Every structure is written in C-alpha cells, then in structure tokens.
A and B are shown apart, each in its own frame.
Chain A
C-alpha cells in the first residue's frame, strides 16, 4: 500500500514539476509547483515525519499563493492567453539537466547504501524538538538570525523612498525633497 502510494506521488511530483516549465500560464505554473510540493510532502509523510510533512504542505500553500500574486505583477503573460516561451539556451540546459539526472541516478543505484536496524523513535517530532532545544540549539539560533536579517533586508530592498531619500542622509532637511511637493508640509 505504502509502496503504491509512494510511486504514485513520486511520479505525480515529477510530472507536475516538469509541467511548471511547460505550461503557458503563469498562474497554472504556480499551482503546478504547489501540486509538486504537496506530492513530495506526502512521500515525506510516508516516512513517519508527520510534523515536517504538514509543515511543508502548509508553508507551500501560503508561499505559492503569494507567488501567484507576484507572478501576475511581474510577468507579461500572466493568464497564458497566447502561447509563448521565455527561455534561453534550452538545448544546453536540457542536456545539463538530463546529464545530472543520469549521473545522480547511476550513483544512487550503484552505491551500496548503508541500512540501519536501530530502533526508530516513538515520536519523531519529539526527537526533533528536543534536538533543536538541546544539542542542535546553535542551528536554531543561526536560523532565527538569518530569518531576522531576511526581514530587514527585504524591507530595505522593497522600500521605494524612505526617510533618508526625503530628509537627506543626516535627516536634517527642513522640508522633504519629494518629486511632487504636497501633503501637509511636515
């Protein structure tokens, strides 16, 4: 049963992953990517990783919905009403991708992978939580710091005109330097 479910999800994940780069519409590409993520998350769920699998599903649904908004903002053909391709060096990329897959698959099939007969934990989520609050605390600290730096960096990058543009580098301008004067003059 699990075997059949795994193969169904694996094939569906790869097919929807390929569809991301084949469909014309950007909205369809976004939701094909979402489907691919959900199918792979089901294979993670098959490995007893309930928490991480559900985390990936929930995170990807939100992320892809946000991505759909950005797609419609930035892409020239968001609805896919006319067929178009936006690729460069397609043959070269295809050759590199197929070559990479062949090399990786050969390695996967030829290497004698180690197995393990050690006992699996009763609750993998408990194992992860205790590791993050114990021996792997440093990982959690660095991740938190990286996420905070990301928030600051994204706000700085996405701001159009901040107070330093309006009031000068020392914030000592009496009147703001705006392209269109107006407002209440503060």
Chain B
C-alpha cells in the first residue's frame, strides 16, 4: 500500500460524487453525491495521517471533521427538503430555481 494508491481511490470517489451532485435532479440524490465527495476526504486524510505524519494527530482530526460534516449535511439537507416539499410540493432542484441569477 502506498499514499498514491489511496489518493487515487480518493480522487475516483470524489469524481463519482461530483458527477452525481452535478447531474442528478432529485435533492436526495444530490446529497448522495455530496456524501461520496466527503467520503473521499476521509480516505485522503487517513492516508496522509498514516504515510506522511503518523506522529501528529492532525490527519485523524480532519477525518473526525469530515464525519461531522457528513452528519450535518445530511440532517440539514433532509430538513430543507421537508420544508420546501411541505410548502411547494417541490422535490426536484429544477423546480426550486428562485435564486438563479
């Protein structure tokens, strides 16, 4: 195992997530894409901790931060979906383009 292999895995996961976040219309599917992108951050940060600076805890703290960001993104995403679905029956991003400039 080497740092490069882990970073390749992280870039592949990030790109798949980016495709999902850009192409999907459903709000819940977009959140799935974002989760995959944050997952790539987890892989990258753990690999950097293990291969570059195992004597310092910074890499592990970044992983913890990414896990928390995932939970927050999920919770707020579902709350926003619930709110907009309740007020306007919207579950697709194309129907919620009010802020498009």
Residues of A within 8 A of B (CB): 2-3, 6-7, 10, 13-14, 17-18, 20-21, 26, 29-30, 33, 36-37, 40, 43-44, 46-49, 52, 55-56, 59, 63, 66-67, 70-71, 74-76, 86-90, 92-94, 96-98, 100-101, 104-105, 108-109, 113-116, 118-121, 124, 127-128, 130-132, 135-136, 139, 143, 146-147, 150-151, 153-155, 157-158, 160
Residues of B within 8 A of A (CB): 1, 3-9, 11-20, 22-29, 31-33, 35-36, 39, 42-43, 46-47, 49-55, 57-58, 60-61, 63-65, 67-68, 70-72, 74-76, 78-83, 85-86, 91-92, 94
- Shortest CB-to-CB span from B74 to chain A, Å, is 6
Q: Contacts of B15 on A, CB cut-off 8 Å?
A: 97-98, 100-101, 104
Query: Given A47-B49, A94-B19, are A128 and B60 also a contact pair (CB < 8 Å)?
Result: yes
Which of A13, A40, A115, A143 contacts B65, CB < 8 Å?
A143
CB-based contact B79/A97 at 8 Å: no
Q: Contacts of A96 on B, CB cut-off 8 Å?
A: 18-19, 22
The winner among A13, A59, A116, A132 for most chain B CB atoms within 10 A is: A116
Which of A48, A74, A157 contacts B26, CB < 8 Å?
A74
CB-based contact A154/B79 at 8 Å: yes
The winner among B17, B29, B65 for most chain A CB atoms within 10 A is: B29
Q: Contacts of B60 on A, CB cut-off 8 Å?
A: 49, 52, 124, 127-128, 131
CB-based contact A116/B52 at 8 Å: yes
Query: Given A49-B60, A136-B57, A143-B65, are A150 and B72 also a contact pair (CB < 8 Å)?
Result: yes
CB-based contact B22/A92 at 8 Å: yes
The winner among B25, B72, B92 for most chain A CB atoms within 10 A is: B72
Q: What does DSSP make chain B's interface, helix, strand, loop or mixed?
A: helix
Contacts A96-B19, A136-B61 supplied; 16 other A-B pairs, CB < 8 Å: A3-B1, A10-B12, A14-B12, A17-B16, A49-B46, A59-B70, A67-B31, A70-B81, A92-B22, A104-B11, A116-B52, A128-B61, A147-B71, A154-B79, A157-B76, A158-B78
The CA-CA distance from A10 to B16 in the complex, in Å, is: 13
The CA-CA distance from A7 to B3 in the complex, in Å, is: 13
CB-based contact A157/B14 at 8 Å: no
Which of B3, B35, B42, B46 contacts A33, CB < 8 Å?
B35
CB-based contact B19/A113 at 8 Å: no
